Amino acid sequence: MATSDETDDRVGQAYRRRLRGAVGRAMRQSRRAVRPLWDRFRFARQDLTAATPTLPRVAYLFIAPFFLLFSVFLAFPVFYTLYLSFFEYQGVGQGSLFWIDLGPVYLEIPQIAQLNFIGLGNYARLLGNELFWQSMFNTSYILVIQVPLMIGLALALALALNASFLRLKGVFRTAIALPVSANLVAYSTVFLLLFNEQLGFLNYALAGVGLGPVPWLTDAFWARNTIIAAVTWRWTGYNMIILLAGLQTIPQQLYEAAEIDGANRWEKFRYVTLPQLKPVFLFVIVLSTIGTFKLFAEPYVITGGGPTNSTITIVQYIYRQAFVNFNLGYASALTVVFVAVVSAFSVAQIKIGGED
């Protein structure tokens, strides 16, 4: 048996050697065969390079991929929402909107949805809808309290972190800006637990100082405040970073000049810091206003819009109408109204941002 193994091995080795020779030969041959092909490829590439559009036209190649996606997934949907807002949605489209049969070529653009034209019916409906006004009110209520509270805190923190005497600036700044990295839904679930009436840390801490349990999530008034607290926690550091960057651009000489004039701390803030910071400050306000208008994840997770719709926001109402009740036409009309409001703020933002 052993000998037969050895012979097998010897045969194998010889076979392998021969094979190696064959492979080498084949490769050498193929390389010789491939060389003209490779050259042809190189020439073709050079031709292609020479043929690529020169300066003005190459630009279209650069923007083409972006523009293609932009047209299909951004520009078209914007107009389609507007279109949809005049219709009643009846189901996913089955037929085709447009088709052309050229023998071998058959082009078909499917109908996106089955629609029934109702003019301004959706708009009339939303104006008369109580829940629409409720959601508008909730959003405005949260806005009016949350934005000033958050901007005030952010400004105070930015001023403190900009003060010359403060040590450990980097540590404080990092700690306060940390929530910026927290995923919206993840931090919302943390607040859901934090404000839980029985298990929550907050009611436990309040009990420690002798205050009774607060119905954070089950009372309309407190539920709104819970949302306000959550949003403020997440975004204060974000605004502080922007305001701090704004503060650091104020020239130091202005403060020195004010000091020589005998200005105290308040006067320096009032007559140097505020006017200098004004564009950034206004900008942060507009940015936060838009952000709060778009509120969705927090009320969705923390309160679910409840209790009895006292925390439902506009976007949440749109979501319910569109994807729970499948009133996509009506939801589009709501979206158009919502976007009109937000865009007004956005235009203000660009105006303010563009001033400096």
Sites for other proteins among residues 37-76 (CB under 8 A): 49, 52, 55-60, 62-63, 65-70, 73-76
CA dihedral 128, 129, 132, 138 (to 10 degrees): 100
Under rule CB under 8 A, residue 287 binds other proteins: yes
Whether the upstream peptide bond of residue 307 has omega within 30° of 0, thus cis, is yes
Minimum CB separation of residue 296 from other proteins in Å reads 5
Under rule CB under 8 A, residue 133 binds other proteins: no
Stretch that binds other proteins, among 1-9, 36-44, 98-106, 231-239 (CB under 8 A): 231-239
Nearest to 299 by CA among 229, 251, 349, 350: 229
The answer for residues whose C-beta is within 8 angstroms of residue 280's C-beta and 6 or more apart is: 242, 243, 245, 246
CA dihedral 42, 44, 48, 50 (to 10 degrees): 80
Tell me the one-letter amino acid at 146: Q
Under rule CB under 8 A, residue 123 binds other proteins: no
Under rule CB under 8 A, residue 189 binds other proteins: yes
Quick one: 27 or 175, whose CB is closer to other proteins? 175
- Which residue from 184, 206, 220, 247 is in contact with other proteins, where contact means CB under 8 A? 184
Q: Is 242 exposed, middle or buried (0-12, 13-18, 19+ CB in 10 A)?
A: middle
Tell me the one-letter amino acid at 280: V
334-349: b or e for each residue (b if 16 or more CB lie within 10 Å)?
bbbbbeeebeeebebb
Minimum CB separation of residue 160 from other proteins in Å reads 5
Quick one: 128 or 354, whose CB is closer to other proteins? 354
Under rule CB under 8 A, residue 103 binds other proteins: no
Please report which helix (H) or strand (E) contains residue 13, including its range.
Answer: helix 2-51
Quick one: 37 or 193, whose CB is closer to other proteins? 193
The site string for other proteins over 247-286 (x = CB under 8 A, - otherwise) reads: ------------------x--------------x--x---
- Calpha distance 313→301 (Å, rounded): 12
- Which residue from 12, 21, 24, 77 is in contact with other proteins, where contact means CB under 8 A? 77
- Which residue from 124, 144, 199, 257 is in contact with other proteins, where contact means CB under 8 A? 199
Minimum CB separation of residue 114 from other proteins in Å reads 11
Asked if 91 and 328 touch (Cβ cutoff 8 Å), the reply is: no
Side-chain half-sphere CA neighbours of 7 within 13 A: 3
Under rule CB under 8 A, residue 191 binds other proteins: yes
Restricted to residues 3-42, the positions that interact with other proteins (CB under 8 A) are none
Minimum CB separation of residue 221 from other proteins in Å reads 21
Stretch that binds other proteins, among 11-19, 137-145, 155-163, 268-276 (CB under 8 A): 155-163
Other Cβ atoms closer than 10 A to 117: 9
Minimum CB separation of residue 44 from other proteins in Å reads 14
Rg value, the chain, Cα: 33
Under rule CB under 8 A, residue 132 binds other proteins: no
Size of the site for other proteins (CB under 8 A): 102
